[in-house]
Amino acid sequence: MRRKRVPGLAAALTTGLALVLPVLPAAPAAAASPATAPGSSLTLTITPDQPSGSGPRTTVTLECDPPGGTHPRPKEACATLAAADGYFERIAPGSAGCTGLWAPVTVTADGTWGAREVSFTERYSNRGCAAAATGGVFRF
């Protein structure tokens, strides 16, 4: 048995399928990336109690996401705060550098962590203990 060729059959089928298939929207070029979380910006201050004479008042800035500011170790400080979700109270205190020297200081942190306002104040027996208790955030 011999098959007959029907000219234009392929073209007719293609056109017919095009009419039957639904029109699909073009795929988006690239999905938009999620919005970057707002950066964190803190002003950190160490104020010696008077008249202890434990040094001058010191203030630095700490920027996170990306790390920066005038803090001497912004990457480490940001990592410590990130592990505590920006809550100084959640930082696991250490003891390295905390001596028995009595030269009390008050530390403050004011600014934002993401979209949340931060205000932290604590008093320590000296600068070394302030640095140890805050995982190095106040080591400057």
List pLDDT tens digits, range 95-135: 788 888 899 999 999 999 999 999 999 999 999 999 999 99
Enumerate the H helices of 21-73 as residue ranges.
none
Query: What is the model's pLDDT at position 21?
Result: 44
Residue 113 sits at the vertex; the CA angle it makes with 111 and 119, to the nearest 5 degrees, is 40
Residue among 99, 104, 94 at smallest CA distance from 126: 104
Residues 36-89 pLDDT 10s = 346 899 999 999 987 655 678 999 999 998 999 999 999 999 999 999 999 999
Cα 9–chain centre separation: 63
Give, for 20, the enclosing helix (H) or strand (E). helix 9-20
pTM of this structure: 0.70
The whole-angstrom separation of Cα 70 and Cα 80 is 17
